[in-house]
Structure 1
Amino acid sequence: MAIDQSLIQTTPVISAIINADNTGVLTVDGTEEQFTAEDSNGLRAQLMSRVFEVALDRGRPVRVSTMDESGLTGLRVSPDRQVEAEDTEEAQSPRTLETSTPAPAPATPDRKTAKQEPAPQPKESATAASAPVSTPRPQALLALKEATAEPLMEPAIDEAAAQAQQSTPVTRRTLRDAESFLSPHGATQPATQGMRGWLSNLGINIPPSEKELAERVDIERVSKHWAGTRTIMVANRKGGANKTPTVKNLAAIFALHSGGGVLAYDGNPEVGTLGWRTEKGDHRSTVLDVLENSERLLSASAVSGDIAGYVHHQSEDRFDVLRSDDSLVGTHVMTGKDVDIIHSVAAKYYRLLVMDSGNVDRGSDWARMIAHTNQLVVPTTTMEDRAEAALLTLKALHERDEYAAKLAQDAVVIISQWQPGEKAVADRIAEGFRPFVREVLTVPFDPALKSGRIVHSALSSASRRAWLRATAAVAQGL
C-alpha cells in the first residue's frame, strides 16, 4: 500500500548526510545526531532505523532528505517501515499537504461593493537544517537549503485549440519519413549507488542520480568496440610526467569495460618502467622476443594463444603488457621498422593498443609511433617543468607535419596532482592547456600511484571515477 502523502506535514524537518568515511549526521528539527558504522550499508541502516522511530513517535509519515556521494535523495517514510522515493523537487520543497475537507466557498458579495481580495499566499515552508560535518558537507548543505517555493501551476489547456488541432487533417508523406515505434533507449536500470542503490537492493525501485547517470554514460563510451585496431599514444618528452600510470589506468579501464583485447606497449627505446610497475608473467619475454619471432606470429597459421608467451597478463586488470628490453648489457636500438612490426603484431591480436612513448622524440621509432596513432594523450603532473614539457611536446608535434599537428590539436591532456591538496594548481595548469587541445582533465593525488605495482582497483573511489572520466574523453577520439 502506498504511503498517504496527505498525512505528511512540514515538521519534523529531517535531513541526513552520509560521508565517505562511514560517518553521518541526522538532523531532526535542528537537533543533530552523529552516527558511525563499519561500512556504508550499516550506516544507512542505522540512519533509516532512527527515521522510522521519528515517524513512529509522530504517528504519521515523515519526509527526509538524504545527501551522499550519489547526490540528493528524497524519501517518504511511514511508521510501519514503508519507504517511498519522491522526486527532487518534492525532496527540496517539504510542505504541508492539507487533509481536511475543503471549506465551502464564501457567499458571493454584491458586485457593486465587492473588492478584489488578494490571493492567499502559501505558508512559508521550513528548510532543512544544516549540519557541520565533513566532506561532502558544502554540496550537501547547499542542496538541502534550496528554496522551498511551491511548484508553478500548469497553464490551463485551451480546449478550443485542442479540438482544432485534433480536427486538422493529416498530411500525407512518403513512408521513408515514417518514424519507428521502437524506443531507441532501453529501460533505465534502478540506482546502484549510494542511498538510492541501498534502497533498490531493498526492493524499492528508485531511479539513479544525475551523478550515476553521468558515470553510466562514461562507461558506455569506454565499452565501445571499433572496427579494426585503435592506437593511443601517451607522450611527454620528460620523465616523471606520469606516463606509466596513465598508460596503466587507461588500459585497465578499457579492458575492464570492453571485455579485454587491450595491449599496453612500453615503447621506450631504453629500459622503460611499465614492466616494473605491472604484473610479471611466468616468462621473461620482451619486445625483442616479439621482433625475433614476428614472422611466425604474423603467419596465417598463428592462433590467438600464441601471443601469450610474449606478453605479461594483468590478472586483476585484464589487459596484457609488452615490456621494453630490460637487459643490462642490451645493444639493440629500436627503429621505425621495428615499431611497424610491433604494431602489425599488436593489430593482429588486440583491438586496442596503448603505447608509452618514452622520453626520446627525435628517432624514427617515435615518428612511426605518431604515424600509427589514432588518439594522442599528453600526461603531466602539477610540477611546472612537467607541464612545460607537455606543452613543448604539443608544440613540436604541431610543427612536425599536418598529421602530427592534427593529433596535437585533438589531444587529451591529463593532469595528475603530484601531491595532496594541489587541485588549485591542477586547475590553473588545465586552463593554460584548454584553448589548444580537444579536452583537458584533472585527476586527484592517489598514493597507490606513487610507487610499486599499480592495480587500478586499489585506487580510491574518487581516483577511479576521475580516471574513468578521462578515459571516456580519450574514447571519444577513437
Structure 2
Amino acid sequence: MDLLAEITAANRAKLRSSSGMRGALNKVGFNLGLSPAEQRAQERLGVIRRQLTTTYQIAVVSVKGGVGRTTTAAALGSTFADLRADRVVAIDANPDFGDLPTRTRPHPYGLTLRDLVQASNLEAFSAVQSFASINSSDLAVIASPWTTEAVQALSGQEYGTAVEILRRHYNLLLVDCGTGVLDSVTNAVLHTSNAVVVVTPASVGGVKGAVATLNWLNSHGLQHLVAKSVVAIVQQQRSKPIVDIEAIEKLFETAQRPTRLVPYDAHLAEGGEVDLRLLERETQLAFEELAAALAEGFPNYLAGAGDRGGWR
C-alpha cells in the first residue's frame, strides 16, 4: 500500500492556474500551479461541500428589522445551493411580514408553508418540492403564509410539522426568522436549529442588538447555538461606515465568535430577487466565507468511524 501511495503521488496531475499572470503564462506553454489565492478558493470550496449525513438547520436571526437579515438568508442559501450537490431549502419563518420569496423567487401558484402542512401524500420528494419555488441557484424556498389578508400568523406548531416533513427530503435547511425571539415560531426554529447567523448592521444600535441576541440565547439554554454562531456584519450604505468595523470584529472576538463582513452591493440594495451572478466578486467571496465558516461546524461524519476496511 505504501508503494502504491508513492506511485500515485508521483503521477498525480497538478492543477494549473487559469487566471492572472500565471494563467497567461500557462497559455503559452508554462506549467504553473495554482496561486495562493486559487488554493484558498479550492480549500474554501472543499469546506462548503463537506458531506452531511444528517439534516442540518441554520437559523438566520436579528432582533431589529431592516438590517439585511432576509437578504443575508437569501444570498447565503443561494451560495450553499449553488456550490453543494445535495438539497438545500430556505424557509420563511417570519410570522409578521415574510419577505423571503421577494428576495429569491415567488411560488408560481402562491403556495406556502401552511399549504405544505395541510397537504397529504407527501412521501415522494417531487410532491414536497412542488410547494417550493426554485431560484436561479437551485435553492428551494418555502414561503411564509403571511399575506395582507391573513388573519392567523404562522405558529410554532405549524413550523414544527413543516420542518419534520422537510427534514426527510432536504440535507441543509436555512430559516429566515422574525425579529421577535419570544414568538412561538421563532422559538420553535431556535430549538430545532444546529447553528445560527446573527445579522447586524455596522452601527452601534445593531451591534447592541446582536450582543443582546447572543446573551438571550445563552441565558435560555441555547448555548450550543452560541457556540455555533457566526455574526454577519452588513454594510448597508455605499459610504464608509461611521463605526469602526475592526472594533466590532474585536468585540465579538473577545467572545470567541467569528464575524464576516458583507460589503455594500448595489444589486443587494435593489431589494429584488438575489442573483449571485449579479453580485460584485467581493460580495460573492463574503458569502462564500460565511458559508465556509458555518460548514466548519457541520458534524464530522468520520469521527469514530474506525477502520472500515478497503481494497486488498
TM-score when scaled to structure 1?
0.58
2:173 partner letter: L
* C-alpha deviation, 1:226, in angstroms: 0.5
Q: Are the structure 2 counterparts of residues 285 and 180 from structure 1 closer, same or farther at C-alpha, using a change threshold of 3 Å?
A: farther
* C-alpha deviation, 1:192, in angstroms: 2.5
Q: Are the structure 2 counterparts of residues 456 and 181 from structure 1 closer, same or farther at C-alpha, using a change threshold of 3 Å?
A: same
Determine whether 1:383 maps to 2:203: yes
Kindly provide the CA deviation profile for residues 1-31 of structure 1, in whole angstroms up to 9, marking residues without a partner as x. Answer: xxxxxxxxxxxxxxxxxxxxxxxxxxxxxxx
Distance, in Å, in 1 between the alignment partners of 2:192 and 2:42 is: 30
* C-alpha deviation, 1:280, in angstroms: 2.4
Aligned pair count reads: 293
Determine whether 1:420 maps to 2:212: no
Which of 170, 174, 180 is 1:360 aligned to? Answer: 180
* C-alpha deviation, 1:378, in angstroms: 0.7
Identical counterparts, % of pairs: 24
* C-alpha deviation, 1:420, in angstroms: 2.6
4+ long deviations beyond 6 Å: 183-186
Secondary structure, aligned partner of 1:407: helix
Distance, in Å, in 1 between the alignment partners of 2:196 and 2:256 is: 10
Higher relative contact order (CA 8 A, sep 6+): 2
Q: Are the structure 2 counterparts of residues 421 and 209 from structure 1 closer, same or farther at C-alpha, using a change threshold of 3 Å?
A: farther
Q: Are the structure 2 counterparts of residues 222 and 400 from structure 1 closer, same or farther at C-alpha, using a change threshold of 3 Å?
A: same
Other-structure match for 2:24: 198
Structure 2 residue runs of 5 or longer lacking an equivalent are 299-312
Q: How does 1:79-478 map to 2 (within 5 A)?
A: 181-182=4-5, 187-293=13-119, 295-297=120-122, 302-314=123-135, 316-401=136-221, 404-422=222-240, 425-450=244-269, 451-478=271-298
* C-alpha deviation, 1:265, in angstroms: 0.5
CA contact (8 A) 1:408 1:437 kept: no
* C-alpha deviation, 1:203, in angstroms: 4.4
* C-alpha deviation, 1:296, in angstroms: 2.5
Distance, in Å, in 2 between the alignment partners of 1:453 and 1:333 is: 24
Distance, in Å, in 1 between the alignment partners of 2:208 and 2:66 is: 13
CA contact (8 A) 2:88 2:140 kept: yes
* C-alpha deviation, 1:413, in angstroms: 0.7
CA contact (8 A) 1:313 1:319 kept: yes
Distance, in Å, in 1 between the alignment partners of 2:201 and 2:13 is: 41
Structure 1 residue runs of 5 or longer lacking an equivalent are 1-177
Which structure shows the bigger proportion of residues in helix conformation? 2
Structure with higher Rg: it is 1
* C-alpha deviation, 1:189, in angstroms: 1.2
Distance, in Å, in 1 between the alignment partners of 2:256 and 2:166 is: 28
* C-alpha deviation, 1:263, in angstroms: 0.4
* C-alpha deviation, 1:200, in angstroms: 3.0
Distance, in Å, in 1 between the alignment partners of 2:200 and 2:27 is: 41
Q: Are the structure 2 counterparts of residues 213 and 475 from structure 1 closer, same or farther at C-alpha, using a change threshold of 3 Å?
A: same
